[in-house]
Amino acid sequence: FPEMLSNPKLVLVQGTLNVVIKQNVTLSCLSEPGPPPVRYTLFKHNQQVSALKRSDLTPALFTLTISSASDTGEYKCKAEYNNSSGGKYSNSLNFTLIEPISKPVLSSPTSQAKKGQNVTLSCFSENGSLPITYLFFRGKQNISPQKTMQKREAAVIFLCIDSLSDFGTYKCKASNSFPNNTKYSNAFNFTLADERSHSQPLIISLGLILLLLIIGFALAIPFLIIPLYKTSE
- Looking at residue 225, its pLDDT comes to 66
- Looking at residue 171, its pLDDT comes to 97
User: Is 33 in contact with 100 (CB distance < 8 Å)?
Assistant: no
Tens of each residue's pLDDT in the chain, 233 residues: 455 788 999 999 999 999 999 999 999 999 876 677 689 999 998 899 999 998 888 999 999 999 988 999 999 999 998 766 678 999 999 999 999 999 999 999 998 998 889 999 999 999 999 999 999 999 999 999 999 999 999 999 999 998 888 888 999 999 998 988 899 999 999 998 875 545 555 667 777 888 887 887 777 777 666 665 555 55
Other C-beta atoms lying within 10 Å of the C-beta of residue 7: 13
Establish if 213 belongs to a structural domain. no
Q: 14 with 45, same domain?
A: yes
Establish if 214 belongs to a structural domain. no
Establish if 155 belongs to a structural domain. yes
For residue 162, what is the domain's CATH number? 2.60.40.10
Q: 74 with 20, same domain?
A: yes
Q: 78 with 118, same domain?
A: no
Establish if 202 belongs to a structural domain. no
- Looking at residue 229, its pLDDT comes to 54
Q: 135 with 86, same domain?
A: no
Q: 69 with 114, same domain?
A: no
Q: How many domains does the chain have?
A: 2
Q: 114 with 39, same domain?
A: no
- Looking at residue 148, its pLDDT comes to 97
Domain of 46? Answer: 9-98
Residue 96 CB contacts under 8 Å (≥ 6 apart), including other chains: 17, 18, 19, 72, 129
Mark which of 56, 73, 98 sits at the end of a domain: 98
- Looking at residue 204, its pLDDT comes to 72
Q: Give the N- to C-terminal CA distance of the chain in Å, as an integer.
A: 143
Q: 88 with 112, same domain?
A: no
Q: 92 with 110, same domain?
A: no
Q: 83 with 153, same domain?
A: no
Continuous segment of H or E residues that includes residue 19: strand 18-19
Establish if 44 belongs to a structural domain. yes
Residue among 112, 108, 110 nearest 156 (CA): 108
Q: 123 with 88, same domain?
A: no
Mark which of 60, 78, 98 sits at the end of a domain: 98
Residues 16-34 as b/e (b if ≥16 CB within 10 A, e otherwise) read eebbbeebebebbbbbeeb
Peptide bond into 59 cis (omega under 30): no
Q: 91 with 138, same domain?
A: no
Establish if 146 belongs to a structural domain. yes
Q: 81 with 149, same domain?
A: no
- Looking at residue 47, its pLDDT comes to 93
